[in-house]
Structure 1
Amino acid sequence: MKSFDAIVIGGGQAGPFLAARMVEKGMKVALIERKFLGGTCVNAGCMPTKTLVASARAAYVARNSAVYGVNIPGEIAIDMKVVRARAETVTMNARNGLIGWFAGMDGMTVIYGHARFEDPKTVSVNGETLTAPRIFLNVGARPVIPDLPGINDIDYLTSTSIIHLDTLPRHLAVIGGSYIGLEFAQMYRRFGAEVSVIEHGPKLASREDEDISDAIADVLRSEGIDIHTGVSDIAFARSSDGITVATDSARIDASHVLIATGRKPNTDDLGLDAAGVISDKHGYITVDDRLATNVDGIWALGDCNGHGAFTHTSYNDFEIAAANLLDGADRKLSSRILAYALYIDPPLGRVGMTEKQARASGRKIMISTRPMSRVGRANERGETKGFMKVIADAETKKILGAAILGIEGDEVIHGIIDAMNAGTTYPALQWSVPIHPTVSELIPTVLGDLKPV
């Protein structure tokens, strides 16, 4: 049996950085990863997909260049092999950077293999047994494959496998109208594929307010994406030239099918029972406000604890754990204000409560909206789709949440994120003097238009 000061299971965006901090403190740490360092973000999520989004936008701008007085003769051709290779290069650079970083650390042992608990202080991997007083789980999540008629008879894609495509689908059917599915839908439409989105719920991106969901649908429809919502029945069958997707309202002749119906934590094969670690009915590990499980000496970080399925929330889990365990701080999960983005074009930046959540809280609220068509920078760039929306507490004057669907919305939202984390009231922000011409300069204007509802 090999002994360590700490064992980290999973090489995502929380565990490895915590392992590095512990090594800096002179600890002996084992980092166990079953496949690739970097987790979903580096290998199958943010980095490769946003690289693909950038290629798709380049195609879109080229096709629409005449609007700006730039004439490109001939047809805009897409080389999917180059597109794929570019995304793979970004991934490999990041992954190899992590490999090199950890290889240079005295006290860090990286083990590739599948770890399972033998007891609360012991795990087995590759036939070896390791023990440590502290064990951190950062095992991530994977795509959910729903039990739909005919699904096992077709070759379907997931968010993990689609990034390796080096040919252009004739017609991509996206099953699931939430964040992952919508990004791939617009991306492949811009590459030149026909695209259909099939969503069980009544709206796309159902977490958002209805006005935001409707605006997202308008953006996608304007680019020729076929959207089907409120679909109750879906079945698949092989056809002579691809896959038939049959619903209660449509029949789609697809060449490729992307299943984007959610993700589930990679906790079902860790031997949690042997350690006595409790998880909920969906497999998410139960943690307290400091990310500790019910078992002393075991923590769960990142996607597997159900408190955020984003790279930045996973990294923040690392920050919380490191501050509390190594720096004598008392940071709490409940202090985190959730923010995220949807990377369609234009993007959606979101923070805090939706209007629906704010109304349900019983607060007296104020709301302000402004169409992007009334933003100078958006008009100058010729990108006026979407709108800004801010919700505030009428009594405390604190900002409760915001949504910015529009040009640079994923960047502009940080002005609101920072204000909310600082506890700044919205009247204070009204007196800031922003730079012109920018999209962010409209934040004081939108705040000044807040009205009770």
Structure 2
Amino acid sequence: MHASSHVDAGVDPDAGRIANVHPPDWVQPTPAGRYNLVVLGAGTAGLVTAAGAAGVGARVALVERHWMGGDCLNVGCVPSKALLASAHAAARVREAGALGVRVGGEPRVDFAAVMERMRAIRHRISPADSAHRFRELGVDVYFGEARFADDRHVEVGGVRLPFARAVVATGARPVVPAIPGLADAGFLTNETVFELRALPERLLVLGGGPIGCELAQAFARFGARVTLVEMADRFLAREDADAASVLRAALERDGVDLRLGTSLGRVELV
């Protein structure tokens, strides 16, 4: 691993992670002829593709406009599962009495410590997805907005990268519904919720998909008053109805206020 792709206990975890996944002093490589493969997007799919191709001897360019590691490292799998582990621990303490274990009252959740742990975990994992590591794997890493100049060239920051094959692995972004008052009231998405430093007293979650359900349960277990609104008549519309029923019972046990078959007409900050 490159010396710059390490975890220093004295470094702010967010600053340390960003230094790995989008180094502020990164120098763009000089294109060395035609690439066998250009990969657009350095999320999970893009990283695996780039590393695999370089591993069999291909000349690979990897282009990322934001953070390497994509959703999984920065705003998805890693931070959400760290958060869920803390929420699970709080729930187990509350349920301990039913198993004959006395813990001395309601557990106190230190939300700031929960979030700091999550950030430390992201920082600790970030060297695996770092620009320096992929450079050492033989991948030319470019940061910037990419566009296809033609069917054999990609442009990044005014530099043309000739290629034989290209993989587009640019991922997805959250869709913000056009609900009157939502923008004025302010809102979080799966990309910004992990920036919280204090536990909100109340939280309205729009959407009963996997992300909405797991965040609703986690914040309820931390002690927030959570309302979950879903337009359909059940959660997890793409999953088995029995699984959705089990989930509903679990959310209700954790105190989530469920509003199924409900459309939000307007949002007002009170």
TM-score normalised per structure 2: 0.83
1:104 aligns with 2:133: no
Per the TM alignment, residue 5 of structure 1 is displaced from its structure 2 partner at its CA by 2.0
Distance 1:207 1:125 in 2: 38
Which whole-Å CA distance do the structure 2 matches of 1:196 and 1:177 have between them?
Answer: 11
Q: For the residues of structure 2 that align with 1:233 and 1:172, how far apart are their CA atoms?
A: 14
1:132 corresponds to? 163
Q: 1:190 aligns with which of 196, 206, 221?
A: 221
Distance 1:209 1:23, change over 3 A: closer
Q: Provide the secondary structure at the position in 2 that maps to 1:30.
A: strand
- Other-structure match for 2:10: none
- 1:85-124 map, 5 Å: 85-99=116-130, 100-106=132-138, 108-124=139-155
| Alpha-carbon distance in structure 1 between the residues aligned to 2:128 and 2:245 | 41
Rounded Cα–Cα distance in structure 2 between residues aligned with 1:203 and 1:17 = 35
8 Å CA contact 1:83, 1:166 repeated in 2: no
Code of the aligned partner of 1:102: F
CA RMSD across the alignment = 1.6
Matches within 5 A, 1:256-271: none
Structure 1 equivalent of residue 262 of structure 2: 231
3-state DSSP class of the match of 1:131?
strand
Alignment counterpart, residue 28 of structure 1, candidates 59, 68, 89: 59
Q: Is the 8 A contact 2:229 2:263 kept in 1?
A: no
- Measure the CA separation in 2 of the matches of 1:78 and 1:43: 23
1:14 counterpart SS class: helix
Deviation of the 1:98 alpha carbon: 2.1
Specify the SS of the correspondent of 1:35: coil
Change (3 A) 1:180 1:138: same
C-alpha deviations, 1:17-39, integer Å up to 9, x for none? Answer: 22122222222211111111111
Work out whether 1:215 is the aligned partner of 2:252: no
Q: Which residue of 1 aligns with 2:39?
A: 8
Which protein is richer in strand relative to its size?
1
Contact 2:43 2:169 in 1 (8 A): yes
Q: Deviations for 1:404-447, whole angstroms, at most 9, x for unmatched residues? A: xxxxxxxxxxxxxxxxxxxxxxxxxxxxxxxxxxxxxxxxxxxx
Separation in structure 2 between the aligned mates of residue 98 and residue 152 of structure 1, nearest angstrom: 33
Moved more, 49-58 or 26-35: 26-35
Q: What residue number does 2:91 align with?
A: 60
Pick aligned residue for 1:151 from 175, 182, 195: 182
* CA deviation profile, 1:90-122 (whole Å, cap 9, x unmatched): 22222222214313223x111111111111111
Report how far residue 211 of structure 1 moved.
3.0
The alpha-carbon deviation at position 202 of structure 1 amounts to 1.1
Larger of the two Rg values belongs to structure: 1
Name structure 1 gaps, 5 residues minimum. Answer: 240-453
Q: 1:75: Cα distance to partner?
A: 4.1
Q: Is the 8 A contact 1:148 1:235 kept in 2?
A: yes
Residue-by-residue CA offset, 1:205-251 (whole Å, 9 max, x unaligned): 11223333222212111221110011134311122xxxxxxxxxxxx
**Partner in structure 1 of residue 231 of structure 2:** 200
| Paired AA for residue 48 in structure 2 | F
Contact 1:36 1:95 in 2 (8 A): no
Closer, same or farther: CA 39–70 of 1 in aligned 2, 3 Å: same
Aligned residues: 238
Deviation, 1:173, is: 0.6
2-structure distance, mates of 1:217, 1:25: 47
How far apart in 1 are the matches of 2:242 and 2:101? 34
Shift of 1:146: 0.9
C-alpha contact 2:46 2:169 (8 A) present in aligned 1? yes
Listed one character per residue, the Cα deviations across residues 15-64 of structure 1 (whole Å, up to 9, x for unaligned) are 22221222222222111111111111111111110110000011111122
Output the CA distance in 1 between the equivalents of 2:123 and 2:157.
Answer: 25
Structure 1 CA distance, aligned partners of 2:242 and 2:140? 50
Q: 1:124 to 1:191 in 2, by over 3 A?
A: same
The answer (yes or no) to whether the contact 1:202–1:229 under 8 Å persists in 2 is yes
